[in-house]
Amino acid sequence: MGYFTKRYHPPGTSPGTLQGSGEAGLFPLKLYLTDYTNTEFTEHDLATPEECRGYLDRDSITWIHVQGDAEAQTLRELGALFGLHPLALEDVINSGQRPKADDYAEQLFVVLAHPVTAAESPDVNIAQLSLFVGKRFVVSFHPGKDDPFGPVRRRLREHTGRIRERGADYLLYALIDLVVDEGFPVLEMLGEAIEDLEEEMLDRPGPDALHRLHNLRRTMLVVRRMLWPQREVLNSLVRDPSGIIGDENHVYYRDCYDHTIQIMDLVETYRDMITGLLDVYLSSVSYRLNEIMRILTIIATIFIPLTFIVGVYGMNFVNPDSPWAMPELRWYFGYPLVWLLMLAVFGGMLVYFRRKRWL
């Protein structure tokens, strides 16, 4: 799992400098354009940012989505077209930013953490989603392989809901709401992993279970670190002083803010459960060790008197002229009598232990 900076701002570099890693990106860059009004809708792929220039003067909402590893040149071109602030563009190319919302005069810059899970795996990857919103445009950046905004595109394409009837601020809400709600299935998967691990620790605690516990704990720490600030981001958007977000859409942002609170409640609950699982593991291991020691102690206690008996009769002092010789060694039924004595001692100790509830 990871949310770590792959490209960074070198020390001493001028603020706002866009500098790539110099290596080919993990995921190829793709540009998508969506332009719409209440009655018209257009979408197509772009080869270069310059192709969207013709849509900027139209009385419509323009959404440019950049999918994959953003390149410095692409960011410069988009920045020139939409007037994006260089400091914000620097945060786009330097991945690993803390979720935040910055006000740059006529536009807002929003950074969110997008949790992504692998199929049938408790590993969680958190991608940085960067969003610029102005009065009539939205520019979004996502570094992953697949476009996460398919449901929003479908709503725009099919004209379902009110998304095409409202401005860019409502499109921003739709994108943020999708990303925030992605946290619920991720946490549900982590919750199931915690429950399975709890059952395993109660039945058969071992090094493998402890290793999985530590992995879950690290995962939850990173999830909490990146999802917690999103509540502050939504709160700042609800109270947006720039006027980018209209008053009629504040209610939707408040609903999204409520979702972040629910997510953080789940995160805190699961974190407490993981902490408790360590106590469960230590208790289970201690209980199993005590059970093993109890059984071994009982076995050793039972055989102590039997060992004493056979030890005494193994001394073989049979001198017939000595009054201190062992007369039992010459008994006709001596051997079976010793066995009966040992069996009687063995049975008597078992009865005693059972009455004491030691067995």
* pLDDT, tens digit (0-9, with 9 covering 90-100), for 180-193: 998 898 888 888 88
At 4 the pLDDT is: 41
Q: How confident is the model at residue 178 (pLDDT cuts 50, 70, 90)?
A: very high
Q: Would you state the pLDDT for residue 17? A: 56
Q: What percent of the chain has pLDDT over 90?
A: 19
pLDDT tier for residue 9 given thresholds of 50, 70 and 90: low
pLDDT value of residue 36: 92
Q: What pTM value is reported for the model?
A: 0.75
What's the start-to-end Cα distance of the chain, in Å? 48
Torsion sign, CA atoms 268, 102, 46, 158: positive
Most confident range, picked from 85-99, 113-127, 196-210 = 85-99
**Among candidates 6, 35, 9, 36, which has minimal Cα distance to 23?**
6
Integer angstrom CA distances of residue 146 from 12, 141, 142, 149: 35, 12, 9, 9
Helix (H) or strand (E) holding 100: strand 100-104
Decide if pLDDT at 274 tops 70: yes
The side-by-side arrangement of strands in the sheet containing 124-133 is 41-46, 30-36, 61-67, 137-142, 124-133, 107-117, 100-104
16 confidence band (pLDDT: 50, 70, 90): low
For residues 312-340, give the mean pLDDT.
79
| The pLDDT of residue 23 | 45
Domain ranges of the chain: 30-284, 290-355
Q: How far apart are CA 175 and CA 151, in angstroms?
A: 10
Q: In this predicted model, which residue has the larger pLDDT, 4 or 121?
A: 121
Res 3: pLDDT: 40
Per the prediction, the chain carries an average pLDDT of 83
pLDDT at 5: 41
Q: Which of the two residues, 54 and 255, has the higher pLDDT score?
A: 255
Instruction: Detail the DSSP E strand segments found in 199-247.
Output: none
Grade residue 176 by pLDDT with cuts at 50, 70 and 90: very high
Question: Of 119, 115, 102, 151, nearest to 263 (Cα)?
Answer: 115
Position 1 scores a pLDDT of 46
- Note the pLDDT of residue 33: 92
SS3 label, residue 115: strand
Which range is least confidently modeled, 61-65, 140-144, 266-270, 275-279?
275-279
Note the CATH number of domain 30-284. 3.30.460.20
**Would you state the pLDDT for residue 170?**
93
3-state class percentages of the chain: helix first, strand second, coil last, to nearest 5: 55, 15, 30
Class level of CATH domain 290-355: mainly alpha
Integer Cα distance of 45 and 47 in angstroms: 7
Q: How far is CA 131 from CA 47, 92, 200, in A?
A: 20, 9, 43
DSSP designation for 40: -
Each residue's pLDDT tens digit, 161-175: 889 888 899 999 999
Please state, in angstroms and rounded to a whole number, the distance separating the CA atoms of residues 213 and 210.
5
What is the pLDDT at residue 26?
Answer: 64
Please choose, from the candidates 117, 64, 119, 112, the residue with its C-alpha nearest in 3D space to the C-alpha of residue 92: 112
Instruction: Give the lowest-confidence range in 46-55, 69-78, 239-248, 288-297.
Output: 239-248
Question: Over the range 1-14, which residues count as b (16 or more CB within 10 Å of their CB) and which as e?
Answer: bebeeebebeeeee
Q: Is the pLDDT of residue 10 over 70?
A: no
Cβ-contact 183, 270 below 8 angstroms: no
pLDDT tens-place string over residues 145-158:
888 898 999 999 99
